[in-house]
Amino acid sequence: MSAAKAFWLSVVGNILPIPFVLAALWHYDRQLRQLPILGKILDWSMRRAMKQQRNVERYGAVALALFVAIPLPSTGAWTGAIAAFLFGIGSRYALPAIAAGVLLAGLIVTILTQGISAILP
C-alpha cells in the first residue's frame, strides 16, 4: 500500500467516529454522572475545567488540535473527544480541532516513517 493511501485511510478512519463519540458523550452526560465512581470523576474534572474556563475559551480549540496532533499513545482523536467534553468545548469547535489534530498527527507519522524507511536499507 502506498504511503498516501495509508495516510488517507488512517486519517479518515480516525475522524469518522468522532462526531458519534462527541454526540454520545453529550447525550449520555446525565446518565454517566449518575454512576458512582465515574460521576465523581466527571464532577471533579468539570470543577477543575471551570477554573480554567477563561483559558479554555481563549485557547481551547487550538490546544485540543495540538493535543490530538501529538503522535503518542493516549493523545488521539478519541481522547481528544473526551477532553473536549470535559472542558466543555462544543462540537462545533471540537470536531474541526480534532480533525486538524488527526491530520497533523498523520502527517508527522507519515513523514517520520517515510524518512526512516529512506535511511534504512
Q: Can you give the chain as a three-state secondary structure string?
A: CCHHHHHHHHHHHHHCCHHHHHHHHHHCHHHHHHCHHHHHHHHHHHHHHHHCHHHHHHHHHHHHHHHHHCCCCCCCHHHHHHHHHHCCCCHHHHHHHHHHHHHHHHHHHHHHHHHHHHHCC
Is 101 in contact with 109 (CB distance < 8 Å)?
no
Cell of 115: 524518512
pLDDT at 60: 80
pLDDT tens across the length of the chain (121 residues): 888 888 899 999 999 999 999 999 888 877 777 778 877 887 787 777 777 677 777 778 888 899 899 988 888 899 999 888 888 888 889 999 999 999 999 999 988 888 776 666 5
Quote the pTM value. Answer: 0.80
**Residue 18's pLDDT is what?**
94
